[in-house]
A = this chain, B = another copy of it.
Protein backbone atom coordinates (compact mmCIF):
# COMPACT_ATOMS: atom_id res chain seq x y z
CA UNK A 1 0.00 0.00 0.00
CA UNK A 2 1.32 3.37 -0.95
CA UNK A 3 0.40 6.94 -1.70
CA UNK A 4 -1.21 5.89 -4.94
CA UNK A 5 -3.71 3.68 -3.20
CA UNK A 6 -4.74 6.58 -1.04
CA UNK A 7 -5.02 8.83 -4.08
CA UNK A 8 -7.20 6.32 -5.84
CA UNK A 9 -9.37 5.70 -2.82
CA UNK A 10 -9.85 9.41 -2.20
CA UNK A 11 -10.20 10.17 -5.90
CA UNK A 12 -7.46 12.77 -5.96
CA UNK A 13 -3.91 12.89 -7.32
CA UNK A 14 -0.96 11.66 -5.37
CA UNK A 15 0.29 15.23 -5.22
CA UNK A 16 -2.78 16.19 -3.25
CA UNK A 17 -2.26 13.31 -0.88
CA UNK A 18 1.32 14.38 -0.35
CA UNK A 19 0.27 17.96 0.27
CA UNK A 20 -2.39 16.91 2.71
CA UNK A 21 0.00 14.77 4.70
CA UNK A 22 2.48 17.61 4.82
CA UNK A 23 -0.16 20.10 5.88
CA UNK A 24 0.29 22.38 2.92
CA UNK A 25 -2.24 25.12 3.49
CA UNK A 26 -3.52 25.44 -0.06
CA UNK A 27 -5.29 22.11 -0.06
CA UNK A 28 -9.06 22.32 -0.33
CA UNK A 29 -10.51 21.32 3.05
CA UNK A 30 -13.00 18.96 1.42
CA UNK A 31 -10.32 17.12 -0.46
CA UNK A 32 -8.17 17.02 2.62
CA UNK A 33 -10.99 15.45 4.55
CA UNK A 34 -11.40 12.77 1.88
CA UNK A 35 -7.69 12.09 1.98
CA UNK A 36 -7.51 11.73 5.75
CA UNK A 37 -10.51 9.44 5.62
CA UNK A 38 -8.81 7.23 3.07
CA UNK A 39 -5.62 7.20 5.11
CA UNK A 40 -7.52 6.17 8.14
CA UNK A 41 -9.58 3.52 6.42
CA UNK A 42 -6.67 1.89 4.70
CA UNK A 43 -4.35 2.25 7.68
CA UNK A 44 -1.75 3.98 5.57
CA UNK A 45 1.63 4.94 7.01
CA UNK A 46 3.87 7.05 4.79
CA UNK A 47 7.24 5.55 3.93
CA UNK A 48 9.86 7.60 5.66
CA UNK A 49 12.69 6.25 3.53
CA UNK A 50 11.07 7.52 0.38
CA UNK A 51 10.40 10.88 1.95
CA UNK A 52 13.98 11.13 3.10
CA UNK A 53 15.28 10.14 -0.27
CA UNK A 54 13.58 12.96 -2.04
CA UNK A 55 13.61 15.62 0.64
CA UNK A 56 17.16 15.03 1.78
CA UNK A 57 16.09 15.34 5.44
CA UNK A 58 15.83 12.18 7.50
CA UNK A 59 14.61 13.76 10.72
CA UNK A 60 17.05 11.54 12.56
CA UNK A 61 19.69 12.76 14.96
CA UNK A 62 22.59 10.57 15.98
CA UNK A 63 23.38 10.32 19.66
CA UNK A 64 26.80 8.98 20.56
CA UNK A 65 27.49 8.09 24.17
CA UNK A 66 30.38 6.21 25.74
CA UNK A 67 28.45 3.69 27.80
CA UNK A 68 24.74 3.17 28.24
CA UNK A 69 25.55 1.07 31.27
CA UNK A 70 26.81 4.09 33.19
CA UNK A 71 23.61 5.39 34.81
CA UNK A 72 24.44 8.96 33.88
CA UNK A 73 23.68 8.34 30.23
CA UNK A 74 20.26 6.75 30.34
CA UNK A 75 19.09 10.00 31.87
CA UNK A 76 20.42 11.87 28.89
CA UNK A 77 19.04 9.39 26.42
CA UNK A 78 15.63 9.59 27.99
CA UNK A 79 15.55 13.39 27.96
CA UNK A 80 16.90 13.54 24.43
CA UNK A 81 14.33 11.07 23.23
CA UNK A 82 11.53 12.97 24.86
CA UNK A 83 12.42 16.19 23.08
CA UNK A 84 13.09 14.39 19.83
CA UNK A 85 9.65 12.85 19.77
CA UNK A 86 8.16 16.22 20.49
CA UNK A 87 9.84 17.62 17.41
CA UNK A 88 9.12 14.54 15.36
CA UNK A 89 12.71 13.40 15.24
CA UNK A 90 14.11 9.94 15.62
CA UNK A 91 17.31 8.95 17.43
CA UNK A 92 20.07 6.69 16.31
CA UNK A 93 21.83 5.71 19.50
CA UNK A 94 25.30 4.22 19.87
CA UNK A 95 27.49 3.40 22.80
CA UNK A 96 31.09 3.39 21.75
CA UNK A 97 32.79 2.25 24.92
CA UNK A 98 35.18 5.12 24.22
CA UNK A 99 36.74 3.00 21.53
CA UNK A 100 37.82 4.92 18.45
CA UNK A 101 37.19 2.00 16.18
CA UNK A 102 33.61 1.57 17.29
CA UNK A 103 33.15 5.30 17.17
CA UNK A 104 34.25 5.27 13.58
CA UNK A 105 31.83 2.54 12.64
CA UNK A 106 29.06 4.34 14.44
CA UNK A 107 29.69 7.55 12.58
CA UNK A 108 29.84 5.71 9.33
CA UNK A 109 26.46 4.13 9.98
CA UNK A 110 25.03 7.49 10.86
CA UNK A 111 26.21 9.04 7.66
CA UNK A 112 24.81 6.14 5.70
CA UNK A 113 21.47 6.60 7.39
CA UNK A 114 21.58 10.25 6.43
CA UNK A 115 21.15 11.60 9.94
CA UNK A 116 20.53 15.33 10.08
CA UNK A 117 22.97 15.93 12.91
CA UNK A 118 24.99 14.19 15.59
CA UNK A 119 25.31 14.85 19.32
CA UNK A 120 28.61 13.52 20.56
CA UNK A 121 28.66 12.96 24.29
CA UNK A 122 32.06 11.30 24.36
CA UNK A 123 35.57 12.65 24.51
CA UNK A 124 35.78 13.97 21.04
CA UNK A 125 36.97 12.17 17.97
CA UNK A 126 39.79 11.83 15.56
CA UNK A 127 40.43 14.63 13.16
CA UNK A 128 39.78 12.47 10.14
CA UNK A 129 36.39 11.29 11.28
CA UNK A 130 35.37 14.80 12.01
CA UNK A 131 36.43 15.72 8.49
CA UNK A 132 34.01 13.20 7.09
CA UNK A 133 31.17 14.65 9.07
CA UNK A 134 32.02 18.24 8.50
CA UNK A 135 32.67 17.68 4.83
CA UNK A 136 29.05 16.56 4.59
CA UNK A 137 27.86 19.72 6.31
CA UNK A 138 26.52 17.69 9.18
CA UNK A 139 25.59 19.74 12.25
CA UNK A 140 27.47 18.52 15.28
CA UNK A 141 27.32 19.23 18.97
CA UNK A 142 30.04 18.30 21.43
CA UNK A 143 30.57 18.52 25.13
CA UNK A 144 33.53 20.81 25.68
CA UNK A 145 35.76 19.40 22.97
CA UNK A 146 34.30 20.57 19.67
CA UNK A 147 36.56 22.46 17.28
CA UNK A 148 35.64 26.05 16.37
CA UNK A 149 33.98 25.35 13.04
CA UNK A 150 30.69 26.45 11.56
CA UNK A 151 27.93 23.91 12.19
CA UNK A 152 29.82 22.66 15.23
CA UNK A 153 28.44 23.67 18.62
CA UNK A 154 29.80 23.13 22.07
CA UNK A 155 28.19 22.73 25.41
CA UNK A 156 30.64 24.09 27.93
CA UNK A 157 30.22 22.49 31.31
CA UNK A 158 31.15 24.80 34.12
CA UNK A 159 32.85 22.18 36.22
CA UNK A 160 34.65 24.76 38.30
CA UNK A 161 31.49 26.06 39.94
CA UNK A 162 30.34 22.80 41.48
CA UNK A 163 33.83 21.58 42.28
CA UNK A 164 34.65 24.77 44.09
CA UNK A 165 31.51 24.40 46.18
CA UNK A 166 32.47 20.85 47.01
CA UNK A 167 36.01 21.67 48.08
CA UNK A 168 34.72 24.62 50.06
CA UNK A 169 32.23 22.35 51.80
CA UNK A 170 34.88 19.81 52.68
CA UNK A 171 37.33 22.46 53.80
CA UNK A 172 34.75 24.03 56.08
CA UNK A 173 34.43 20.62 57.69
CA UNK A 174 38.15 20.69 58.41
CA UNK A 175 39.16 18.23 55.73
CA UNK A 176 42.70 18.77 54.56
CA UNK A 177 43.73 15.50 52.98
CA UNK A 178 41.30 15.35 50.10
CA UNK A 179 41.84 12.77 47.40
CA UNK A 180 40.43 12.75 43.90
CA UNK A 181 39.35 9.68 41.96
CA UNK A 182 39.63 10.81 38.38
CA UNK A 183 38.18 9.46 35.16
CA UNK A 184 40.07 7.97 32.23
CA UNK A 185 43.00 10.27 31.52
CA UNK A 186 42.30 10.25 27.77
CA UNK A 187 38.79 11.58 28.35
CA UNK A 188 38.86 15.35 28.08
CA UNK A 189 35.73 15.92 30.11
CA UNK A 190 37.33 13.86 32.85
CA UNK A 191 40.62 15.73 32.83
CA UNK A 192 38.63 18.95 32.97
CA UNK A 193 37.13 17.75 36.23
CA UNK A 194 40.52 16.84 37.61
CA UNK A 195 41.83 20.25 36.67
CA UNK A 196 38.88 21.94 38.33
CA UNK A 197 39.64 19.98 41.49
CA UNK A 198 43.28 21.01 41.47
CA UNK A 199 42.35 24.64 40.93
CA UNK A 200 39.78 24.60 43.69
CA UNK A 201 42.26 23.03 46.09
CA UNK A 202 44.88 25.62 45.20
CA UNK A 203 42.38 28.41 45.78
CA UNK A 204 41.84 27.11 49.28
CA UNK A 205 45.54 26.79 49.83
CA UNK A 206 45.22 23.04 50.16
CA UNK A 207 47.92 20.73 48.95
CA UNK A 208 47.39 17.75 46.72
CA UNK A 209 50.34 15.45 47.39
CA UNK A 210 51.47 12.93 44.82
CA UNK A 211 49.31 9.87 44.73
CA UNK A 212 46.23 11.65 45.96
CA UNK A 213 44.81 11.74 42.47
CA UNK A 214 44.16 8.27 41.13
CA UNK A 215 42.15 7.09 38.17
CA UNK A 216 38.82 5.35 38.74
CA UNK A 217 37.97 4.97 35.06
CA UNK A 218 34.44 6.15 35.73
CA UNK A 219 33.37 2.64 36.67
CA UNK A 220 32.36 1.00 39.94
CA UNK A 221 35.26 -1.38 39.63
CA UNK A 222 37.61 1.50 39.00
CA UNK A 223 36.37 3.30 42.09
CA UNK A 224 36.90 0.14 44.11
CA UNK A 225 40.50 -0.20 42.98
CA UNK A 226 41.19 3.49 43.35
CA UNK A 227 40.12 3.60 46.95
CA UNK A 228 42.00 0.45 47.74
CA UNK A 229 45.11 2.29 46.63
CA UNK A 230 44.18 5.42 48.54
CA UNK A 231 43.40 3.49 51.72
CA UNK A 232 46.81 1.87 51.68
CA UNK A 233 48.60 5.21 52.07
CA UNK A 234 50.19 6.03 55.38
CA UNK A 235 48.39 9.35 55.35
CA UNK A 236 44.97 8.17 54.37
CA UNK A 237 42.64 10.86 52.98
CA UNK A 238 39.75 11.97 55.14
CA UNK A 239 37.67 12.81 52.12
CA UNK A 240 37.55 11.72 48.52
CA UNK A 241 35.94 13.41 45.60
CA UNK A 242 35.12 11.39 42.52
CA UNK A 243 34.94 12.25 38.87
CA UNK A 244 31.57 10.55 38.63
CA UNK A 245 28.94 8.92 40.84
CA UNK A 246 29.55 5.40 39.72
CA UNK A 247 33.15 5.45 40.87
CA UNK A 248 32.00 7.10 44.10
CA UNK A 249 29.78 4.09 44.66
CA UNK A 250 32.84 1.94 44.15
CA UNK A 251 34.76 3.96 46.72
CA UNK A 252 31.98 3.64 49.28
CA UNK A 253 31.77 -0.05 48.67
CA UNK A 254 35.48 -0.57 49.21
CA UNK A 255 35.33 1.56 52.35
CA UNK A 256 32.56 -0.69 53.58
CA UNK A 257 34.70 -3.74 52.91
CA UNK A 258 37.60 -2.22 54.82
CA UNK A 259 35.41 -1.31 57.75
CA UNK A 260 35.81 2.40 57.13
CA UNK A 261 32.60 4.24 57.99
CA UNK A 262 31.15 6.74 55.54
CA UNK A 263 30.73 9.55 56.44
CA UNK A 264 32.23 9.28 59.95
CA UNK A 265 35.66 8.07 58.92
CA UNK A 266 35.53 9.17 55.33
CA UNK A 267 33.59 11.78 53.39
CA UNK A 268 32.84 11.05 49.76
CA UNK A 269 31.47 13.27 47.03
CA UNK A 270 30.41 12.11 43.61
CA UNK A 271 29.88 13.87 40.32
CA UNK A 272 26.88 13.82 37.95
CA UNK A 273 24.15 13.35 40.53
CA UNK A 274 22.55 10.34 38.94
CA UNK A 275 19.10 9.39 40.11
CA UNK A 276 20.43 6.56 42.22
CA UNK A 277 22.79 8.85 44.15
CA UNK A 278 19.92 9.79 46.40
CA UNK A 279 19.25 6.15 47.21
CA UNK A 280 22.58 4.55 47.95
CA UNK A 281 23.59 4.07 51.55
CA UNK A 282 24.47 6.58 52.77
CA UNK A 283 22.84 8.97 50.28
CA UNK A 284 25.60 10.38 48.17
CA UNK A 285 26.56 14.03 48.13
CA UNK A 286 27.26 14.85 44.53
CA UNK A 287 27.96 17.62 42.06
CA UNK A 288 24.94 17.89 39.86
CA UNK A 289 25.10 18.28 36.15
CA UNK A 290 21.57 18.23 34.86
CA UNK A 291 21.05 15.45 32.39
CA UNK A 292 17.78 16.90 31.19
CA UNK A 293 19.29 20.28 30.62
CA UNK A 294 22.28 18.81 28.86
CA UNK A 295 20.06 16.82 26.50
CA UNK A 296 17.89 19.85 25.89
CA UNK A 297 20.86 22.03 25.01
CA UNK A 298 22.30 19.41 22.70
CA UNK A 299 19.06 18.87 20.88
CA UNK A 300 18.38 22.54 20.37
CA UNK A 301 21.92 23.17 19.25
CA UNK A 302 21.42 20.62 16.50
CA UNK A 303 17.97 21.85 15.64
CA UNK A 304 19.18 25.42 15.34
CA UNK A 305 21.80 24.41 12.82
CA UNK A 306 19.40 22.24 10.84
CA UNK A 307 16.83 24.98 10.55
CA UNK A 308 19.30 27.72 9.84
CA UNK A 309 19.04 28.95 6.29
CA UNK A 310 21.85 31.46 6.25
CA UNK A 311 25.39 30.29 6.71
CA UNK A 312 25.95 29.70 10.40
CA UNK A 313 28.54 31.30 12.63
CA UNK A 314 31.50 29.21 13.73
CA UNK A 315 31.39 27.37 17.02
CA UNK A 316 28.22 28.37 18.82
CA UNK A 317 28.60 27.89 22.56
CA UNK A 318 26.13 26.89 25.21
CA UNK A 319 26.77 26.75 28.92
CA UNK A 320 25.72 24.34 31.60
CA UNK A 321 26.37 24.96 35.24
CA UNK A 322 27.14 22.46 37.99
CA UNK A 323 26.20 22.64 41.64
CA UNK A 324 26.82 20.77 44.85
CA UNK A 325 23.93 18.69 46.17
CA UNK A 326 24.40 17.95 49.85
CA UNK A 327 23.34 14.59 51.20
CA UNK A 328 24.68 12.26 53.85
CA UNK A 329 28.03 11.02 52.62
CA UNK A 330 30.02 13.92 54.03
CA UNK A 331 30.72 14.92 57.63
CA UNK A 332 33.31 16.83 59.63
CA UNK A 333 36.62 15.03 60.11
CA UNK A 334 36.48 13.00 63.27
CA UNK A 335 40.05 13.59 64.37
CA UNK A 336 41.66 16.54 62.68
CA UNK A 337 44.93 15.66 61.00
CA UNK A 338 47.60 15.75 63.66
CA UNK A 339 49.66 18.83 62.93
CA UNK A 340 53.05 19.40 64.50
CA UNK A 341 52.05 20.90 67.80
CA UNK A 342 53.13 24.51 68.14
CA UNK A 343 52.30 24.89 71.79
CA UNK A 344 54.50 23.49 74.48
CA UNK A 345 57.42 22.32 72.41
CA UNK A 346 58.70 20.43 75.44
What residue in chain B is nearest A76 (Cβ atoms)?
Answer: B68
Cβ of A232 within 8 Å of any chain B Cβ, yes or no, is no
Smallest beta-carbon distance A137→chain B, Å: 12
Contacts of A73 in B (CB 8 A): 74
Count of interface residues, chain A, beta-carbon cutoff 8 Å: 48
Mostly, the A contact residues are helix
CB–CB A49/B114 < 8 A: yes
Most buried by B among A45, A47, A249: A45
User: Given A69-B74, A276-B276, do A50 and B53 touch, yes or no (CB 8 Å)?
Assistant: yes
Please measure, in the bound complex, the distance between the C-alpha atom of A224 and the C-alpha atom of B282, giving whole angstroms. Answer: 15
CB–CB A53/B49 < 8 A: yes
Instruction: From B74, B92, B94, B250, give the contact of A68 (CB < 8 A).
Output: B74
Please measure, in the bound complex, the distance between the C-alpha atom of A24 and the C-alpha atom of B252, giving whole angstroms. Answer: 57
CB–CB B81/A113 < 8 A: no
User: Chain copies in the assembly?
Assistant: 2
Give the contacts of A30-88 with B (CB-CB under 8 A).
Answer: 43, 45-50, 52-53, 58, 68-69, 71, 73-75, 77-78, 81, 85
Cβ of A319 within 8 Å of any chain B Cβ, yes or no, is no
What residue in chain B is nearest A91 (Cβ atoms)?
Answer: B93
Cβ of A275 within 8 Å of any chain B Cβ, yes or no, is yes
Contacts of A276 in B (CB 8 A): 71, 220, 249, 276
Give A152-190 as 1s and 0s: 1 = Cβ < 8 Å from B's Cβ atoms: 000000000000000000000000000000000000000
Cβ of A346 within 8 Å of any chain B Cβ, yes or no, is no
Kindly list 6 other residue pairs between chains A and B, CB separation below 8 angstroms, not including A49-B114, A78-B95. A47-B53, A49-B113, A249-B279, A249-B280, A250-B279, A253-B280
Chain A residues packing against B (C-beta within 8 Å):
43, 45-50, 52-53, 58, 68-69, 71, 73-75, 77-78, 81, 85, 90-95, 105, 108-109, 111-114, 132, 135, 220, 224, 249-250, 252-253, 256, 275-276, 279-282
What are 14 A-B contacts defined by CB distance under 8 Å? Answer: A43-B135, A47-B53, A49-B58, A49-B113, A68-B81, A69-B78, A78-B95, A81-B94, A81-B95, A92-B92, A220-B276, A249-B279, A253-B281, A256-B281
